[in-house]
Structure 1
Amino acid sequence: MTWEVPMGGWTARDIPDLDGRRAIVTGANSGIGYHTALRLAQHGASVVLACRDAERAQAAADRIRAAAPDADVAVGRLDLADLSSVRTFAARHGGAPLDILVNNAGVMALPRRTTADGFEMQFGTNHLGHFALTGLLLPALRDAPSARVVTLTSGFAWAGRLRFDDLQGERRYRKWAAYGQSKLANLIFARELDRRVPELTSVAAHPGYAATNLQQTGPRMQGSTVMEKAAGVGNALIGQSAAAGALPSLYAATAPDVQGCACYAPRLLQYRGAPAKAVTPPHADRPGQSERLWRISEDLTSVAYAPAPA
């Protein structure tokens, strides 16, 4: 049985009133993204569920309305593995001030695939898609009085390395190394965004080990029934619930004492429990690394972060 409630500390009951706030959560049709969107809506935010599968997103929106009849939720189609989809979504949903953006969606440990734009799927979806989305929504974020951007990373960032000579895994591809690279990129992006755009607060969050379908997708794509079942057993025996895994994201998005550039994770070995400020990998601070990743990301996505209007 998965762990449902953290042992002490901050919980979803501590989320402040979000009436009048607008939020976008990527990958909100299931798992951590769904519970993030649900709690934001329950506390008064107007929430857009940004998802690749519009039918599943609509079903998630219906579940949120059933749990919170007064919830203001909408669905927007967003495929982070297709930059044309990212641009279309941003054009449709970037008009009004945006208070909270949760860059939650992601893929993990897939066999090598490429996005619609030819990027390695994990780097392209987890990092480049969110980099482009955030940049395109930046005017809406700047229009909000105290906007937050929360980007999900993972404990695998500790094992990640940015292989600038082979970011797309064309010469050598290892699925877990590619995943670690993408999660390290998420962490570096969150911190660099906070430094470059002081008008908003940008932070990272990671859920610990949360029982979601993310762990089983890779084995399923490889046709490995044994590994898929093993992932399911691991989820059931040692994973905390998706609702508990959403707490670091919710804390980062709403708590008044959140610090820019920080990362929030479960406090018990960054594995489970209530959210707290987390120690991050030292190699995330290598000199010049964040600037180089930023330049490459702008070049690959053709999305440049314009300075604030004078």
Structure 2
Amino acid sequence: MAERITSPFGAKSTAREVVAGHDLSGKVAIVTGAATGIGVETARALALAGAEVIIAARKPDLGEEVANAINAEAGLKRASFGMVDLASLDSIRHFAHVWGDRPIDLLINNAGVMASPLMRTVDGFEMQFGTNHLGHFLLSTLLAPNLVAAVKASGKRARLVSLSSIGHRRSGVNFDDPNYQNRDYDKWEAYGQAKTANSLFAVGFDKRFKDHGVNANAVMPGGIMTPLQRHMTLEEQRAMGWLDENDKPREGFKTTEQGAATSVWAAVGAELDGVGGLYLEDCAQAVPWSKDHPWNGVMPHALDPEAADRLWALSEALVGTEA
């Protein structure tokens, strides 16, 4: 690896600590899935630093509640809710249509589904691949002109952040059957495929838009107890070693504020100006994965440029767009 990019922050840093000292006044940020979990803290940190933040989610009641809480803390309106269901291509297209040509400085693809039983999106895609990757793929490519417009308007680079996971180690992308039409379904393999796709998407997006002033990086936020675990029983979480005998998260898990830190660093960190196509964790460029440290690092298949191009072509074909 070339000289590894690091920051003054680490695994225990919080989103507010990372954004401290940054003035985001005049910047517009969209954070998907920001009605719950680390998305809330990501949106809050950006808004309190001055950005206008759109909470793009599928539950209006929760989204409006979060926006109101952020605005109350900020003392003025900086957050608002935008309806989008990433499991519906029509919903995504409607969101982009309503958004129009307004510039976007930061697009943070935070929403996700984990370890769900075999379910399908409105359009027939396997739920984890369809929501985590294809939904964000369509949203991002539809809004790419808005990111480029922000660059032209401000003279400063725009950024896209794609949330991946250490779960990418469980599987690469199965290009022959990504939606489990002809193979047995395994929820963790499917999650791994989706998280690999999230990382490869950052590689592919950065390749296509870096010369237009937009960079993209993937982020591993860390282990955090959030509604992402909604499809897992307590027994399963205990068996995986996530919970102790008192059903408390084991050492190494982060708070939501800590979990949002790397996303915020990817969005504002000066160390990443003009830098893209990386996989980030603990507010630094990730080291290569190794058996000695199985819960950290990135595997080569998640950053493979050829796989990223292949995924881009597949995604265009599946969502019916050319971007």
Q: Report TM bin, short chain.
A: 0.7 to 0.9
Match 2:235 to one of 226, 233, 248: 226
Per the alignment, residue 59 of structure 2 pairs with 53
Per the alignment, residue 185 of structure 2 pairs with 173
State how 1:26-45 maps to structure 2 within 5 Å: 26-45=32-51
CA distance in 2, matches of 1:177, 1:261: 24
SS at match of 1:11: helix
Per the alignment, residue 237 of structure 1 pairs with 250
Match 2:204 to one of 179, 185, 192: 192
Match 1:75 to one of 73, 81, 84: 81
CA distance in 2, matches of 1:165, 1:281: 21
Does the C-alpha gap of structure 1 residues 30 and 185 become closer, same or farther in structure 2, counting only changes over 3 Å? same
SS at match of 1:76: strand
CA distance in 2, matches of 1:95, 1:162: 33
Per the alignment, residue 264 of structure 1 pairs with 280
CA distance in 1, matches of 2:268, 2:143: 19
Render the CA deviation track for 1:245-284: whole Å, top value 9, x for unaligned.
0000000001112121112211xxxxxxxx1111321123
Residue 144 of structure 2 is aligned to residue 105 of structure 1:
no
Per the alignment, residue 276 of structure 1 pairs with 284
Supply the AA of the counterpart residue of 1:111: P
State how 1:267-306 maps to structure 2 within 5 Å: 275-279=283-287, 280-286=298-304, 288-305=306-323
SS at match of 2:225: coil
CA distance in 2, matches of 1:293, 1:192: 8
Match 2:93 to one of 81, 87, 95: 87
SS at match of 2:76: coil
Does the C-alpha gap of structure 1 residues 8 and 143 become closer, same or farther in structure 2, counting only changes over 3 Å? closer
Offset, 1:287: 6.2
Per the alignment, residue 148 of structure 2 pairs with 142
Match 1:251 to one of 265, 273, 293: 265
Match 2:226 to one of 212, 216, 224: 212
8 A Cα contact 1:211 1:235, kept in partner: no
8 A Cα contact 2:203 2:276, kept in partner: yes
8 A Cα contact 2:35 2:55, kept in partner: yes
Offset, 1:94: 4.0
Per the alignment, residue 123 of structure 1 pairs with 129
SS at match of 2:30: strand
Offset, 1:92: 1.4
CA distance in 1, matches of 2:256, 2:269: 19
Offset, 1:150: 0.3
Percent identity for Structure 1 against Structure 2: 41
SS at match of 1:107: coil
Per the alignment, residue 217 of structure 2 pairs with 203
CA distance in 1, matches of 2:132, 2:23: 30
8 A Cα contact 1:15 1:255, kept in partner: no
Per the alignment, residue 182 of structure 1 pairs with 194
Does the C-alpha gap of structure 1 residues 290 and 250 become closer, same or farther in structure 2, counting only changes over 3 Å? same
Does the C-alpha gap of structure 1 residues 16 and 287 become closer, same or farther in structure 2, counting only changes over 3 Å? closer
8 A Cα contact 1:15 1:251, kept in partner: no
Q: Which runs of 5+ in 1 are unaligned?
A: 267-274, 306-310
CA distance in 2, matches of 1:301, 1:235: 40
Q: Which runs of 5+ in 2 are unaligned?
A: 1-10, 152-156, 288-297
CA distance in 1, matches of 2:34, 2:139: 15
Count residues with an aligned counterpart. Answer: 289
